[in-house]
Structure 1
Amino acid sequence: MRGRRILFAVSGLLLAALVVTVALWPVYVRPRTDPPQPADAILILGGAHDGREELGLSLAAEGYAPRVLVSNPYERSPMVNRICHGGYSFEVICFDPSPRTTLGEGRGLARLGADWHRVIVVTFTPHISRARYILGTCWPGELLFVDPQPHLSPARWAWDYAYQSAGYVKAWFANC
């Protein structure tokens, strides 16, 4: 009898995990992305150096925007420091978001881009939907999201499902 209860509980947990995975698949694994279009700026959100910096800079070099905003929430990042002090044919504006979260990045966008109409945002796949929600509450313009489509391990996908879900809950209670 006890074995049946354990089996039933484990089966229920596995079923719940499957339902959550399938329900959130379009939010984290296949979020809506946008083709790049001419914009007022390109915003590279802080995070793992997963190709987002290179993608944002290449979009600016291709002429999609005259400036790149680089969120730099980290004390020391050699890559970001090189970007912030490099010589480019476009303007690079580095800022330390306050708080050092997506909410702070949204506030930074609202402050720096008060007169802008369209911004290309570069982040990574599991973060796109939540970033779209948060930045959209902070800034009224059009947000186009692109990502470098990094390869993530199953363990990393599981972590991001949990992390991004907790971030959504936190975002619902935060004000820009």
Structure 2
Amino acid sequence: MTAPIPGTRRRRWRVPVALLVLATLAAVAGWPVFVRPQVDPLRRADAIVVLGGTPYERFDVGLELARQQWAPELLIAASTGLDDPRMDRYCRTGYPFRVTCFEPHPWTTRGEAQEIRRRAEAGGWRHIIVVTFTPHVSRARYIVGRCFDGELTMIASPSRTDPVFQAWMYVRQTAGYLKAFTESGC
């Protein structure tokens, strides 16, 4: 019988323990960015902008803010496509305020931010309310802020809180941040 090499047991645990420590650090660091991002108090603005995607609840949040007259105009990024029948409720229904929908080109947050810049320049917007889902708030603030020189009020629509979704959002939003950091300008 061969005697175990001294320290072998300890070495076997180093990698799993190191991975556990890294995962814990990532979870703690990501908490204020992806789970509890900075949202801003509401105040009147020139426009409400709802960033696209699913689930659709964020569009309801934007409509409710417009109904409450936080801004005279609602701009919706129909990133699921203008031919999406569910978007008809938002884009093709008459409201007592102006509603405009657009497809971002490219279909990314950056594409949405570029369209926001064009609309802001044309409309003279100095302050906008931006609605997106909770894990996307911080990254959206960064990307939209690179294209829009005015004041941003960021609002989070509710999103899933289950661990699998949260883990996916950590990965997806972190990758999106890394991409955004490598891009210059708007």
Q: TM-score range by the shorter chain?
A: over 0.9
Label 1:143 to 1:3 Cα distance change in 2 as closer, same or farther (>3 A): same
Aligned residues: 176
**Aligned twin of 2:96:** 89
Are positions 1:20 and 2:26 aligned together?
A: yes
Distance in 1, Cα, partners of 2:118 & 2:132? 20
**Aligned twin of 2:105:** 98
Could you say what secondary structure the match of 2:157 adopts?
A: coil
**Aligned twin of 1:67:** 73
Alignment of 1:141-152 (within 5 A): 141-152=150-161
Alignment of 1:127-146 (within 5 A): 127-146=136-155
Per-residue CA distance 1:29-77 (angstroms, 9 max, x = gap):
1111012211111000011125211110000001111111000122343
* TM-score (normalizing by structure 2): 0.90
Are positions 1:167 and 2:176 aligned together?
A: yes
Are positions 1:156 and 2:162 aligned together?
A: no
Could you say what secondary structure the match of 1:113 adopts?
A: helix
Offset at residue 4 of structure 1 (A)? 3.5
Identity fraction in percent: 44
Distance in 2, Cα, partners of 1:23 & 1:147? 19
Q: Which residue identity is paired with 1:91?
A: R
Compare 68-77 and 113-122 and name the one that shifted more: 68-77
Q: Which has the larger radius of gyration?
A: 2
Unpaired runs of 5+ in structure 1? Answer: none
- The question of whether the paired residues in 2 share the 8 Å contact of 1:45 and 1:123 is answered with yes
**Aligned twin of 2:12:** 6
- The question of whether the paired residues in 2 share the 8 Å contact of 1:127 and 1:164 is answered with yes
Alignment of 1:110-121 (within 5 A): 110-114=117-121, 115-121=124-130
Distance in 2, Cα, partners of 1:79 & 1:143? 28
Compare 110-119 and 142-151 and name the one that shifted more: 142-151
Are positions 1:77 and 2:84 aligned together?
A: yes
Offset at residue 148 of structure 1 (A)? 2.1
Distance in 2, Cα, partners of 1:116 & 1:127? 23
Runs of 4 or more above 3 Å deviation: 1-4
Unpaired runs of 5+ in structure 2? Answer: none
**Aligned twin of 1:42:** 48
